[in-house]
């Protein structure tokens, strides 16, 4: 082979290597000039008045700031969690570009827009797939360790070091889904009106009992544990539309639950009956207080607690899971059972039954032996004794 041919082959090889290198770089993750710099360096978080999150389905979750605070449109104006709002907005303000991923697809992204009070867009970010990092050479799979994103006005796709799952448009990432609950006291009495039946319970010396407990009944201790915490740790799945009527929400045939606390405050919950529109049950709760003593300071404290509670929970109709509704729809048969007889009373009857079962069975008598009485033996056939008195000589 001539030196001229060798030179031509060498040149062709160089060209092929160069093309392969460029092709590989086109699809590889590389370090951009913006690496380590904020994606939104000009964002003023104090100007953010609206957050819009549009999912790939086209559904949009909107959070809006007003004089009353942040609210969620999907929950009919229910308050958003200010802490979660602050955390997520600051996360976007501090988000920095990582490596660049040329050619990375960003089809059907979730889009986040931050707007000011006038509706001007302050920042817009599209969320792509999560970056999955292999857990090692031991074959344990992979785990999310970043997110592919694009910034409005830029063609580059960046890999950031946060999965940004709280920005995916789930309302639970922006709202405290726990229903406000009473605090600082304990329940002393409960009244439940359910399906035409009334149930009344009182706590005496720390123990619950129904007011009409019979002599042959007792409380089922295994089912009383939930009474003290019925109004605590309640979570909701949604907020009912304000336009829905009580009939549509099932309140007309639902349950009324009243709990009287030691501080004199009564919390009344209305639980809607099951409806055909949803598995969730409608739930309302409000507090009230009727002063029974003359201590003005204590009465003022109770009235303040009532006002604060109703301001948070009193104007909403929550949608709760069936398991939550069951805490308030208890019937008498759920808490009372027939009294168990003490073992000392049951023992004699049980012992007699045991003896009768263990006693030997007599052989059945034949017809001959049962028909005639047994004859006495000669030795036992004695003349009847005379009752006459012997004459005296």
Residue 10 belongs to a domain: no
231 part of a folded domain: yes
> Residues near 249 by Cβ (< 8 Å), separated by ≥ 6?
240, 272, 275, 282, 317
Quick check: is 373 in a domain?
A: no
Q: Are residues 58 and 192 in the same domain?
A: no
DSSP H stretches of helix in 164-288: 246-249
pLDDT tens digit string along 95-141?
A: 999 989 888 888 899 999 999 999 999 999 999 999 888 876 555 67
Does residue 349 lie in a domain region? no
Range in 46-55, 80-89, 183-192 the model is least confident about: 183-192
From residue 21, alpha-carbon distances to 11, 27, 28, 29, 157 in Å are: 15, 10, 10, 13, 20
Q: Give yes or no: residues 225 and 327 share one domain.
A: yes
d(CA 297, CA 291): 11
How many other C-beta atoms lie within 10 A of the C-beta of residue 43? Answer: 19
CA dist 16 and 12 (Å) reads: 6
For the chain, how many structural domains are there in total? 2
Of residues 19 and 225, more confidence is placed in 225
202 with 140, same domain: the answer is no
| Helical (H) or strand (E) element with 255 | strand 255-261
Helix (H, G, I), strand (E, B) or coil at 110: strand
Please state, in angstroms and rounded to a whole number, the distance separating the CA atoms of residues 372 and 184. Answer: 90
Say whether pLDDT at 188 is over 80.
yes
Q: State the chain's maximal CA–CA distance in angstroms.
A: 183
pTM value?
0.73
Q: How far apart are CA 65 and CA 372, in angstroms?
A: 111
| Residue 308 included in any domain | yes
Query: In this predicted model, which residue has the larger pLDDT, 28 or 62?
Result: 62
What is the pLDDT confidence band of residue 185, given thresholds at 50, 70 and 90? confident
User: pLDDT per residue over 218-227, tens digit each?
Assistant: 999 888 988 9
pLDDT of 381 > 50? The answer is no
Whole-number pLDDT of residue 102: 86
Read off the pLDDT of each residue in 150-162 and give the average, rounded to a whole number.
Answer: 91
Query: How far is the C-alpha of 259 from the C-alpha of 247, rounded, in Å?
Result: 24
Neighbour tally for 329: CB within 10 Å = 17
Name residues whose C-beta falls within 8 Å of residue 78's C-beta, 6 or more positions apart in sequence. 71, 72, 175, 239, 316
Going from the C-alpha of 151 to that of each of 86, 99, 124, 148, the distances in angstroms are: 21, 14, 6, 10
Shared-domain flag, residues 132 and 210: no
For residue range 160-174, what is the model confidence (pLDDT) as tens digits? Answer: 999 999 898 889 889
Query: Of the candidates 173, 203, 238, which is a domain's last residue?
Result: 173
pLDDT category, 66, cuts 50, 70, 90?
A: confident
- On whether both 45 and 127 belong to a single domain, the answer is yes
Same structural domain for residues 141 and 223?
A: no
Q: Is residue 375 part of a domain?
A: no
CA distance linking residue 126 with residue 108, whole number of Å = 9
What's the confidence (pLDDT) of residue 272?
96
Looking at residue 227, its pLDDT comes to 92
According to DSSP, residue 139 is labeled: -
**Does residue 199 share a domain with residue 327?**
yes
104 and 129 in a single domain? The answer is: yes
- Residue 35 within any structural domain of the chain: yes
Residues 195 and 82 placed together within one structural domain of the fold:
no
For residue 363, pLDDT over 50 is answered with: yes
DSSP string, 258-324: EEEETTSEEEEEEEPPP-SS-SSEEEEEEEEE---SS-HHHHHHHHHHHHHHIIIIIT--EEE-HHH
202 with 322, same domain: the answer is yes
Q: Which domain holds residue 252?
A: 187-338
Give the separation between CA 214 and CA 164, rounded to whole angstroms.
Answer: 60
In this structure, the answer to whether residues 168 and 213 fall within a common structural domain is: no
Does residue 382 form part of some domain? no
Is 236:283 a contact under the CB 8 Å cutoff?
A: yes
Quick one: pLDDT at residue 354? 63
């Amino acid at each position: 082979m001539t030196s001229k041919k060798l030179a031509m082959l060498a040149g062709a090889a160089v060209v092929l290597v160069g093309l392969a290198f460029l092709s590989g770089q086109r699809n590889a993750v590389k370090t951009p000039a913006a690496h380590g710099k904020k994606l939104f360096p000009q964002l003023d978080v104090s100007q953010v008045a609206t957050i819009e999150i549009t999912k790939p389905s086209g559904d949009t979750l909107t959070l809006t700031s007003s004089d009353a605070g942040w609210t969620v449109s999907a929950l009919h104006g229910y308050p958003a969690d200010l802490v979660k709002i602050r955390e997520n907005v600051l996360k976007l303000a501090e988000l920095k570009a990582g490596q660049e991923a040329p050619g990375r697809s960003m089809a059907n992204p979730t889009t986040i827009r931050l707007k000011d009070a006038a509706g001007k867009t302050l920042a817009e970010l599209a969320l792509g797939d999560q970056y999955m990092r292999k857990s090692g050479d031991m074959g344990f799979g992979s785990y999310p360790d970043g997110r592919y994103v694009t910034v409005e006005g830029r063609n580059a796709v960046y890999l950031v070091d946060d999965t940004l799952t709280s920005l995916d448009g789930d309302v639970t990432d922006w709202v405290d889904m726990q229903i406000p609950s009473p605090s600082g006291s304990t329940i002393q009495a409960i009244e439940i009106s359910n399906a035409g039946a009334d149930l009344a319970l009182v706590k005496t010396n720390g123990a619950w009992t129904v007011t009409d407990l019979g002599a042959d009944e007792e409380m089922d201790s295994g089912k009383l544990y939930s009474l003290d915490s019925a109004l605590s740790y309640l979570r909701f799945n949604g907020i009912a539309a304000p336009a829905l009527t009580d009939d549509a929400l099932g309140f007309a045939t639902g349950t009324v639950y009243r709990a009287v606390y030691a501080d004199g405050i009564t919390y009344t919950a209305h639980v809607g009956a099951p409806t055909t529109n949803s598995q969730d049950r409608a739930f309302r709760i409000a507090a009230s207080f009727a002063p029974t003593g003359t201590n003005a300071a204590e009465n003022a404290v109770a009235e303040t607690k009532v006002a604060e509670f109703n301001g948070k929970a009193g104007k909403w109709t929550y949608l709760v899971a069936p398991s939550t509704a069951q805490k308030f729809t208890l019937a008498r048969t759920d808490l009372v059972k027939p009294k168990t007889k003490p073992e000392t009373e049951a023992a004699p009857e049980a012992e007699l039954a045991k003896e009768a079962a263990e006693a030997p069975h007599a052989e059945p008598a034949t017809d001959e032996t049962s028909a005639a009485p047994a004859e006495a033996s000669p030795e036992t056939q004695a003349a009847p004794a005379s009752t006459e008195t012997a004459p005296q000589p």
